[in-house]
């Protein structure tokens, strides 16, 4: 990645992490806040909040308008990881190179930390988004957040993923899992950024289409890396998908065809930006980086 773009990405990450630290204090009862902070502040690429901030910026919004939503989506993402790692779900010991939440705080606190983040994140948006954002836009952002966090999107994708383990499923079901378990948060990130910037419906539609292509490409990358990477590279236990009989692109299409589909989706995503005159070196670099990781 170009050093200048990498520095911009690092600046975004620093901004997000400073505000996450501020938004999640340690209060009584301390254990739940410590558990929430443990997972949210455990590092990571901060990709979803970066997408919120960059989409808002490129569509003429400001960081001040977008930072609460950017932090909220990272809280939502962390919630999904805490619950994904539980023994009753993926039963993972490591996340982002560290012990998973339930390994440190116990299963009960981990469940409750996930619950707390899910309900706390919209409060962060509501209480911290500046008054320059109209109530109409703010309400739309909250609606987007709550829909994508719920049974018809993120949770729905997780449910179908669990129910599909070890079974023969259709390509349509595989697509549903990936579009919702993974793709929903990428669409949410970019739609929130666009709405907060006051973008028109054509631009909101364009970033939604970009996010759909990117989200699927990202999940295919994740499926590929699960069979080709190490614990150190992934930050989580590799080979879990195959071990648990999960529905993945590699299982359906094989490694080489999965790489071809990922590359095609990345090209389509970049084409959407160009067609709609959305100029962002950062978005292009993010797309190219996931294509490069599987080569």
Q: What is the pLDDT of residues 234-289, one digit of tens each?
A: 565 655 666 666 778 888 899 999 999 999 999 999 999 999 999 999 999 999 99
pTM: 0.93
How far is CA 38 from each of CA 119, 162, 173, 282, rounded to the nearest angstrom? Answer: 17, 26, 34, 28
Q: What confidence tens digit (pLDDT) does each residue in 32-60 have?
A: 999 999 999 998 899 999 999 999 999 99
- pLDDT-based confidence at 231, cuts 50/70/90? low
pLDDT at residue 101 greater than cutoff 80: yes
- Pick the closest to residue 282 from 41, 1, 66, 92 (CA basis): 1
Range 3-293 classified under CATH 1.10.600.10: yes
Rounded CA-CA distance 188/73 in Å is 8
- pLDDT-based confidence at 10, cuts 50/70/90? very high
Q: What confidence tens digit (pLDDT) does each residue in 171-189 have?
A: 899 999 999 989 999 999 9
Q: What confidence tens digit (pLDDT) does each residue in 70-96 have?
A: 999 999 999 999 999 999 998 999 998
- pLDDT of 248 reads 85
Query: What does residue 28 show for φ and ψ, rounded to 5 degrees?
Result: -80, 135
- Identify the weakest region by mean pLDDT among 28-32, 155-159, 225-229, 239-243: 239-243
Average pLDDT of the chain to the nearest whole number: 93
- pLDDT of 2 reads 86
- pLDDT of 251 reads 86
- pLDDT of 290 reads 92
Sign of CA dihedral 33, 37, 38, 39: positive
Q: How many residues does the chain have?
A: 295
- pLDDT of 240 reads 63
- pLDDT of 151 reads 95
- pLDDT of 122 reads 98
- pLDDT of 226 reads 87
Rounded CA-CA distance 225/223 in Å is 6
- pLDDT of 285 reads 96
- pLDDT of 230 reads 64
- pLDDT of 204 reads 98
Cis peptide bond N-terminal to 56, omega within 30: no
- pLDDT of 275 reads 97
pLDDT at residue 193 greater than cutoff 70: yes
Share of the chain above pLDDT 70, in %: 95
Alpha-helical (H) ranges within the chain are 3-23, 30-40, 47-58, 63-84, 101-105, 107-128, 135-148, 154-163, 171-177, 183-197, 201-228, 231-234, 240-243, 249-253, 255-275, 281-293
């Amino acid at each position: 990645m170009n050093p200048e773009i990498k520095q911009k990405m690092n600046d975004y990450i620093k901004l997000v992490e400073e505000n996450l630290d501020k938004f999640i204090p340690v209060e009584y009862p301390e254990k739940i806040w410590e558990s929430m902070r443990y997972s949210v502040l455990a590092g990571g690429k901060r990709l979803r909040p970066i997408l919120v901030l960059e989409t808002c910026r490129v569509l003429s919004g400001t960081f001040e308008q977008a930072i609460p939503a950017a932090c909220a989506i990272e809280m939502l993402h962390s919630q999904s990881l805490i619950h994904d790692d539980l023994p009753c779900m993926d039963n993972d010991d490591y996340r982002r190179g560290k012990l998973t939440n339930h390994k440190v705080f116990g299963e009960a606190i981990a469940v409750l930390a996930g619950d707390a983040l899910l309900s706390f994140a919209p409060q962060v948006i509501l209480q911290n988004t500046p008054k320059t954002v109209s109530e109409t836009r703010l309400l739309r952002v909250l609606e987007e957040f709550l829909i994508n966090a719920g049974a018809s999107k993120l949770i729905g994708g997780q449910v179908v993923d669990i129910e599909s383990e070890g079974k023969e499923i259709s390509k349509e079901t595989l697509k549903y899992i990936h579009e919702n378990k993974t793709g929903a948060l990428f669409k949410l990130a970019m739609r929130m950024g666009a709405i907060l910037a006051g973008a028109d419906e054509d631009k909101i539609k364009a970033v939604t289409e970009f996010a759909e292509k990117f989200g699927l490409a990202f999940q295919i990358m994740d499926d590929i890396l699960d069979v080709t990477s190490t614990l150190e590279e992934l930050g989580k236990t590799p080979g879990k998908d195959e071990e648990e009989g999960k529905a993945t692109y590699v299982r359906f299409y094989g490694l080489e065809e999965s790489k071809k589909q990922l590359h095609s989706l990345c090209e389509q995503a970049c084409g959407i930006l160009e067609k709609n005159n959305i100029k962002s070196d950062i978005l292009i670099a993010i797309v190219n980086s996931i294509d490069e990781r599987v080569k």
